[in-house]
Structure 1
Amino acid sequence: MFAKNIFTIFLVLFVVNTMYSQTKLSTGNVKRPDNPFGEDTSAVKRAKGFKNVASIDMYLQFNTEVDTSIVDTTLVINKHYKFNYLQRDNFGLMPFANIGQTYNTLTYNPKGKSLMPLFGARARHFNYYDSDDIKYYEVPTPWTRLTYKTAFQQGQMLDAFFSVNLSKQFNFSIAYKGLRSLGNYQNALTSSGNFRFTSNYKSKNNRYNARGHIVMQDLLNQENGGLQDVDLENFETGNEEFLDRSVFDPNFENAENILVGKRFYLDHSYQIIKKNDSLDSNNLYINNTISFEDKYYDYTQSSSETDYFGDSFTNEIKDKVTLENFQTKIGFLYQNDLLGNLSFNLNYTNLNYGYNSVVLIADELIPNRIKTSFIGVDAGYSKEIGALKLQGTAGLNLSDEFSGNYIDANLTLKIKEDISFGGGINITSRLPNYNYLLYQSDYINYNWYNLDSFKNINSQQLSVYLNSDKYLNAKLDITNIDNYTYFNLDATLDGIKVIRPTQYDKSLQYLRLKLEKELKFGNFALDNTVMYQNVVSDDDVLNVPALLTRNTFYYSNQIFKNAMTLQTGVTFNYFTKYNMNGYDPLLAEFYTQNDSEYGGFPRLDFFINAKVRQTRIFLMAEHFNSAFTGFNFYSAPNHPYRDFTVRFGLVWDFFL
């Protein structure tokens, strides 16, 4: 029914699109600035009978922070890195065998501005659109983008997007990203849908602005627990009888989990004091944000697997946890040419997290709900003085039970047009995620309540960076973490892994150094990204590989009388061996284990990409070295990475 409704909506939009393309909307004389995309000099002609032309730099997109960028239709190496399920650069993430499954994280960044715990099942959230992920648009003509990519065995991924300005003041966009992929292993099907609707409005005098979105998402995965221990030898030796991965018997074939969420969001402001002339230096806005999000995570299993998860209360497993989160804030933004920009907001949060009933285990009562409401405040300041830019924000929860605070400050100095240097400090303190504090399951081992015993996670991060396309992009950050909280493999009893939330009572220090540099030799280029990491602690509680590298050697040129851009090459991915985190399908979380090391295997991908007009075509032979460099590639313990496969995809833009 939902799919039929989506089809109906897109059919209506197609009719509106066609009608709109015949409507006389004038944008005035277009004076095109320097094209920021180099090779892309495309322009979109108006419908027949119109003199004006809309250039690509008139198609704008921005996020909740109002960071504006121009729609980019070029074919550069960064587009190759972003053409994946997440549609962003996934350096530092290790994909699982099937598209739409989770990712193992090869790096860790505690930096953030969140004052609240996060909803659990973080392994399901890689493709979950939060408020900061939503973009709003302003376009001179209707714009449609179709993104398609083949999947594994049966299925495909498609992201269909449409945006239109019904007037100069009002824009709306609608999009749906759908995926279904059977996968090469038993009981590994993935099926997901991400529906997004956004609107952007500004009054004719530009004093009132409003942005809002509605997002509905469902992310379903069948879970099999990975390969059985007895089958690991058959996989690693390359036994010909098991090259068809569907013949493996996984740990179980009767489980699935799903994350479902919907969110309604509105951010609007009104300009009380408006700068009237060049001598007037004051602007004052009053703003209000309202957000309501309803989420649930569900794990079902037709019969309990006591040999894998331990004893259970019932034979049929049905675990479900919900979160209702309402947040609103009201405040002001003051802008002064001399003093800078200053903002202040008063926040209100009401949350309801938990389960339908309490649990009694060995005379210990596990409650079913965490319910609370409280007030908070946040403030921000920014100022530019010549080439120097200062920006900072801070927030505080006025609650004893849900205490939290953060300070985030950054200083940037633009030395030359191509060289900028900066640094920042981020200090955060907040409770661990909800599933560390309270969890209930039909499996007896997965019941706990830690709200009264777990302390806030405190982190302090200092970072410095240098950005220069000509010389080098480099970033160094050093982080100290107190009360680091993680899921830990406590013990293995009779083959059963006991996973428990644990809070580390000592400090640990974490260093990361990331270097990026592209070397060009005529039409050839070598793009390099390298990261070094080191964790200093008395115990192995935060495990990351010491070295990650991604190196792409490719050829790029204009062919067929400049009618096509061709890009072809090989990408090399590698990370050193380390105690890779394990995956728990019931929690949909990763846990720390120190029994086995994984990694140290290369991943080679050959690609041919092309661009014709506004269409970008991607063809990739993924992990083509899998058969001759050894079958020791894993995404997590007992979860092999994908074998060699050829996949095709495209991104097609329509400008009417």
Structure 2
Amino acid sequence: MHIRFFSILFFGLITSSLVSQTKLNGRNLPKGGNTSENDSTSTNRLKGFEKLATIDMYVEFNHVIDSTEIDTTISIKKEYKFNYLQKDNFGLMPFANIGQTYNTLSFNSADNAMIPLFGARSRHFNYLEHDDIKFYEVATPWTRLTYKTAFEQGQVLDAFFTINLTKQFNFSIAYKGLRSLGNYQNALTSTGNFRFTSNYKTKNKRYNALGYIVMQDLLNQENGGLQTEDLEDFTSGNVEFIDRSVFDPNFENAENILKGKRFYFEHSYNLIKKNDSINNDNLIIFNKVLFEDKYFQYTQTSAASDFFGDYFSSSINDKVTLEYFNTSMGLKYSNNLIGQLQLALNYNDINYGYNGIVLVSGETIPNRLKANFFGLDGEYNKKLKGFNISGKGGINLSDTFVGSYLNGTVSFKLNEDLTLLGGIYINTRLPNYNYLLYQSDYVKYNWNNVDRFKNVNTQQVRFNLYSKSLINASLDISNIDNYTYFNNEGTIVDFNNIVPKQYTNPLQYFRVKFQKEFKAGKFALDNTLMYQNVVSDEDVLNIPSVITRNTLYYTDELFKKSLKLQTGVTFNYFTKYNMNGYDPLLAEFYTQNETELGGFPRFDFFINAKVRQTRIFFKLEHFNSSMTGYNYFSAPNQPYRDFAIRFGLVWDFFL
């Protein structure tokens, strides 16, 4: 993944800024730093650049121009986000090695997609999607290095640099690389995420443009998990198997890789020339272009017939590709009376599939799904006396790729501390591509459901309450028709019986989540609790009833407040349930109703510190593993991590 090359490149870029880190104020550092304990705060991006840089002049924003200040604080939220995904992973159960997949403990039915998603969803946790890309505007060059140790001969490094060459033009370049051998045989992970962004605006701000390039490759060796006869040796804590490398997994000759390139550009022009500062009318014409080329490939030097069943070729090489092009053009009008209204016409071109057709049991499996069609989408936002009304919607003008969505919210700010939000979400679209069409060198992994599977129809209502003094709470209730999933129709070791299925009856899903932090002096207790339930005639969506995370921690400032220290213990737990199994060939999770897992505690002890613009993270992960029993799994036959000591840091440089 060329980690060394990019490390040298970025260290060279920041050499000059490293020399000037001796002062705490002035141009070297945003004045006063960021003393807020909030993860991010709103900012005013219209101030321009002054000779003395302040923190509100270092901002990031996404393609919808929601901007937040750069945050260099240390907080419990930063502790939750200091992981491979660099986001709070509550509700996700990681596998043994960093960079492997995550088992999903909770289910979010709402998304704004109107077309199928690419398959291999278990490989997409670290695959940067369109909404994950950030753009920047900074007063001085800014570099951030994020480093964390991995398992057995590896580490993860994210190196990032951004600069405004002028007040109007910014670019950023970044690369996150990982290599980790892991504690089990044939479990190496090697990933890379390269991104380049740029944005420009004219001095009168009438013309704006932004774009990015993202290139990603996520490679995992696969071993199929532990053999069933070895599970007793793992759960009993047999000392001969504490060295996990002595286990013989189901196979040691397979790997899969997800690779993708995405290019995006959008620009807009305000047709209304503003002659005074009180004129709030805007009529903006805009154009957006996105192209993505990606593929997923599973290779195995010799077929494992006892695991995946019969095969056409003893050397397995399954590869599926997707080329997706989307462009849109539209108008956005806004004023103080009607709010902001946006309408656009879009065009989509889809090319998904394989190189040739396959004949299985007298049925011809085609090799391609191709389509091109137009669509419409719109958006509305309005603020009115404490209310914030927003809505998005879209529809495909296609007979084959039928799809539409509507996502509306209304929020009301009762006071500075309390905000209420309610929303409704309606969506219909085809199932993901790998449910519709799949080909493999393994015989039973070939199917064509294009004319058999119907659209998945989802309706959801949701409510949120935000309050620092009371509680943060969320509630959503979903109804899903034609829920589509992978199901194991055999035993846990019969992977050749995993098939895509649709549940034709309505499925109801309910979940409620609470978050509250209690503080007493320098001590604090942060609590997150989720309860969820599924109502259906069959066990097609399995989830734990309760998920909880509780952190007791201590915060103090030492050495004349030059060092901020935070230390504590985090407890994670979820109730037992029929946990989804993992299929490495599909890179998907499947429903199984044979093995019940969960119900084990996970304790992590951490010490975090901040010195100037450096944040240091030290953690004892799952330190209770040998004390509370070895019956901990991330999926059937896939053990969770043993006790490990992890170290990392985040280092910011401001020139």
For structure 1, which segment, 420-429 or 485-494, has the greater mean C-alpha deviation from structure 2 after superposition?
485-494
Q: CA deviation at 1:6?
A: 4.1
1:385-424 alignment runs, 5 A limit = 385-424=384-423
Cα pair 1:35 1:57 within 8 Å, conserved: no
Q: CA deviation at 1:205?
A: 1.0
For residues 535-579 of structure 1, the C-alpha deviation after alignment (integer angstroms, 9 at most, x for no partner) is 000000000000000000000011111001100000000000000
Distance 1:531 1:39, change over 3 A: closer
1:514 maps to a residue whose letter is: K
1:312 maps to a residue whose letter is: Y
Q: CA deviation at 1:51?
A: 9.4
Cα pair 2:96 2:639 within 8 Å, conserved: yes
Distance 1:496 1:146, change over 3 A: closer
Q: CA deviation at 1:281?
A: 3.7
1:571 maps to a residue whose letter is: T
1:145-294 alignment runs, 5 A limit = 145-278=144-277, 280-294=279-293
1:624 maps to a residue whose letter is: F
Distance 1:39 1:101, change over 3 A: closer
SS across alignment from 2:435: helix
For residues 82-109 of structure 1, the C-alpha deviation after alignment (integer angstroms, 9 at most, x for no partner) is 0000000000000000000000000000
Distance 1:101 1:332, change over 3 A: same
The equivalent of 1:360 in structure 2 is 359
Aligned partners of 2:33, 2:563: CA distance in 1, in Å?
24
The equivalent of 1:342 in structure 2 is 341
Distance 1:602 1:348, change over 3 A: same
For residues 120-165 of structure 1, the C-alpha deviation after alignment (integer angstroms, 9 at most, x for no partner) is 0000000000110000000000000000000001110000000000
Structure 2 residue 603 is the aligned partner of structure 1 residue 608: no
Q: What stretches of structure 2 of length at least 5 have no aligned partner?
A: 42-48
1:423-438 alignment runs, 5 A limit = 423-438=422-437
Distance 1:32 1:280, change over 3 A: farther
Aligned partners of 2:446, 2:16: CA distance in 1, in Å?
53
2:410 maps to a residue whose letter is: L
Aligned partners of 2:387, 2:40: CA distance in 1, in Å?
31
SS across alignment from 2:131: helix
Cα pair 1:40 1:73 within 8 Å, conserved: no
1:469 maps to a residue whose letter is: K
Distance 1:605 1:40, change over 3 A: same
Cα pair 1:40 1:74 within 8 Å, conserved: no
Distance 1:166 1:479, change over 3 A: same
For residues 409-443 of structure 1, the C-alpha deviation after alignment (integer angstroms, 9 at most, x for no partner) is 00000001011011000101111000001000000
Q: CA deviation at 1:494?
A: 8.7
Q: CA deviation at 1:7?
A: 6.0
Structure 2 residue 106 is the aligned partner of structure 1 residue 107: yes
1:522 maps to a residue whose letter is: G
SS across alignment from 1:227: coil
The equivalent of 2:474 in structure 1 is 475
SS across alignment from 1:231: helix
Distance 1:604 1:66, change over 3 A: same
Q: CA deviation at 1:274?
A: 3.5
Structure 2 residue 90 is the aligned partner of structure 1 residue 97: no
For residues 419-469 of structure 1, the C-alpha deviation after alignment (integer angstroms, 9 at most, x for no partner) is 101100010111100000100000001000111111110000000110001
Aligned partners of 1:3, 1:548: CA distance in 2, in Å?
36
Cα pair 1:300 1:318 within 8 Å, conserved: yes
Aligned partners of 1:332, 1:274: CA distance in 2, in Å?
16
SS across alignment from 1:491: coil
1:531-546 alignment runs, 5 A limit = 531-546=530-545
Aligned partners of 1:390, 1:51: CA distance in 2, in Å?
35
The equivalent of 2:574 in structure 1 is 575
Aligned partners of 1:494, 1:527: CA distance in 2, in Å?
40
1:276-355 alignment runs, 5 A limit = 276-278=275-277, 280-355=279-354
Cα pair 1:604 1:624 within 8 Å, conserved: yes
Distance 1:652 1:121, change over 3 A: same
The equivalent of 1:47 in structure 2 is none
Distance 1:509 1:248, change over 3 A: same
2:620 maps to a residue whose letter is: A
Q: CA deviation at 1:362?
A: 1.2
Aligned partners of 1:389, 1:496: CA distance in 2, in Å?
49
The equivalent of 1:46 in structure 2 is none
Distance 1:224 1:646, change over 3 A: same
Q: TM-score, normalised by structure 1?
A: 0.95
For structure 1, which segment, 494-503 or 555-564, has the greater mean C-alpha deviation from structure 2 after superposition?
494-503
Distance 1:278 1:31, change over 3 A: farther
For residues 307-346 of structure 1, the C-alpha deviation after alignment (integer angstroms, 9 at most, x for no partner) is 0000000110000000000110000110111011000010
The equivalent of 1:633 in structure 2 is 632
Aligned partners of 1:497, 1:641: CA distance in 2, in Å?
25
SS across alignment from 1:54: coil
Structure 2 residue 75 is the aligned partner of structure 1 residue 56: no
Aligned partners of 1:130, 1:617: CA distance in 2, in Å?
28
Over aligned residues, Cα RMSD in angstroms? 2.3
Distance 1:18 1:208, change over 3 A: farther
The equivalent of 2:501 in structure 1 is 502
Aligned partners of 1:221, 1:515: CA distance in 2, in Å?
35
The equivalent of 1:44 in structure 2 is none
Cα pair 1:488 1:501 within 8 Å, conserved: yes
Aligned partners of 2:627, 2:162: CA distance in 1, in Å?
47
Distance 1:32 1:234, change over 3 A: closer
Distance 1:334 1:575, change over 3 A: same
Aligned partners of 1:140, 1:489: CA distance in 2, in Å?
55
Q: CA deviation at 1:16?
A: 9.0
Structure 2 residue 581 is the aligned partner of structure 1 residue 590: no
SS across alignment from 2:497: strand
The equivalent of 2:46 in structure 1 is none
Aligned partners of 2:259, 2:175: CA distance in 1, in Å?
15
Cα pair 1:274 1:284 within 8 Å, conserved: no
The equivalent of 2:485 in structure 1 is 486
1:349 maps to a residue whose letter is: N
The equivalent of 1:135 in structure 2 is 134
Q: CA deviation at 1:19?
A: 13
Cα pair 1:150 1:648 within 8 Å, conserved: yes
Aligned partners of 2:647, 2:35: CA distance in 1, in Å?
30
For residues 237-285 of structure 1, the C-alpha deviation after alignment (integer angstroms, 9 at most, x for no partner) is 0001000000000000000000000011001111111343355341110
Aligned partners of 2:114, 2:336: CA distance in 1, in Å?
31
Distance 1:519 1:214, change over 3 A: same
Q: How many residues align?
A: 642
2:276 maps to a residue whose letter is: D
Distance 1:156 1:281, change over 3 A: closer
The equivalent of 1:144 in structure 2 is 143
2:451 maps to a residue whose letter is: D
1:269 maps to a residue whose letter is: S
Distance 1:62 1:599, change over 3 A: same
Aligned partners of 2:405, 2:38: CA distance in 1, in Å?
40
Q: CA deviation at 1:35?
A: 6.0
The equivalent of 1:465 in structure 2 is 464
For residues 599-640 of structure 1, the C-alpha deviation after alignment (integer angstroms, 9 at most, x for no partner) is 000000000000000000000000000001011100000000
Aligned partners of 1:588, 1:258: CA distance in 2, in Å?
10
SS across alignment from 1:453: coil
Give % identity.
63
Q: CA deviation at 1:490?
A: 1.6
1:364 maps to a residue whose letter is: E
Q: CA deviation at 1:495?
A: 4.6
For residues 57-92 of structure 1, the C-alpha deviation after alignment (integer angstroms, 9 at most, x for no partner) is 210000112110000000010000000000000000
